[in-house]
Amino acid sequence: MKVAVLGAGAIGAYMGAALCRAGVEVHLVARGPHLAALRSNGVRVISPRGDFVAHPHASDDPTDIGPVDHVVLGLKANAYAAAGPLVAPLLHADTSIVAAQNGIPWWYFHGLAGPYEGRRIESVDPEGATSEALPVERAIGCVVYAATEIESPGVVRHLEGTRFSIGEPDGTVSARCTEFAEAMVAGGLKCPVELELRNDIWVKLMGNIAFNPLSALTRATMAGICHHAGTRSVVESMMEETLDVAARVGARPEISIERRIAGAASVGEHKTSTLQDLERGRPLELDVLLPAVIELADLTGAAVPTLRVVAALADLLDRQVSGTQDDALPQHPHAPGGR
């Protein structure tokens, strides 16, 4: 089995190192000092479950790698639409694309029986650009329940969690999912193949849609947001609205709001990825969170007033970070921010 990890950051490098440890032929696509360190020293993983070093091939040019069996996307979701030239050299007729992303994926309605089957979500697939770069028939969904960070170039600190739930958009258990899951497990990770992965997507999204933008707006950690009465109330409202939208598109995430908040609080003084991006002056990954869910709310008739307020504030913040601004009112009621 041959795997390429496109965007070998904290999560991508961690997955790649685990797969390499399982004996998979792994190629990491990275750049800058991180790439130089990967080439010289491999991936060093520091983890409470035991430290290890893996030595996958690393490159900044996918044409050096050629076609693979699975492409793992470790990119930010707002980079997907422009990823076509990077992905194309890695594809053969049966290559899958395993998208380890937060939020609503571009393939969400692909293979989902019901009134919205095949519908494109503009917020995550603007004018079909993402689907063109990443054909939906190649997509394998992946919900990440692991927390990692780049401690220094080539060094990944694993903080908690080892579960990477995957699944086919049509809810089948495919040979390609089984193959990938078995390799992940052999590398020391949990990788259940879920028949209803969209439920996992919404469970994860309940936290991301609230804590990620609020952390950027307040500069607070997850525990800080949970322990402040006012922001905790905002989180509860955002989660209630999110669950309403989920139900209207047929998803049933099996977790209570109280349990979801308690789980977030237990993480402690952790900065969300959005807050980390803000502190580094990077665009914020918001389109797959707030604008996407608001778009689904508009589609299904759900009222999401709290999500709309937070989306407006977060979008303005993102525009300030990226140095862009609008001279007129947005033409779309949930104009996207970037990541």
Give catalytic residue positions: 204
End-to-end CA distance of the chain: 32
Q: Give the DSSP letter string of 214-232.
A: HHHHH---HHHHHHSHHHH
Q: Give the DSSP letter string of 29-98.
A: E--HHHHHHHHHH-EEEE-TT--EEE--EEES-GGGT---SEEEE-S-GGGGGG-HHHHGGG--TT-EEE
Q: Going edge to edge, which strands form the sheet with 70-73?
A: 57-59, 25-29, 2-6, 70-73, 96-100, 139-144, 164-167
Find where tokens 């949990």 sit.
190
Confirm if 289 and 205 have CB atoms less than 8 A apart.
yes
At CA 8, angle to CA 61 and CA 101, rounded to 5? 120
Give the separation between CA 209 and CA 256, rounded to whole angstroms. 15
- Tokens linked to 20: 């390499």
| CB crowding 65-100: b at 16 or more within 10 Å, else e | bebbbbbbbbbbbbbbbebeebbeebbeeebbbbbb
How distant, in Å, are the alpha carbons of 168, 240, 293 from that of 233? 35, 11, 19
Give the separation between CA 339 and CA 336, rounded to whole angstroms. 10
Give the separation between CA 198 and CA 213, rounded to whole angstroms. 22
Nearest 10 degrees: Cα torsion 194, 244, 285, 331: 130
Name the amino acid, one letter, at 233: S
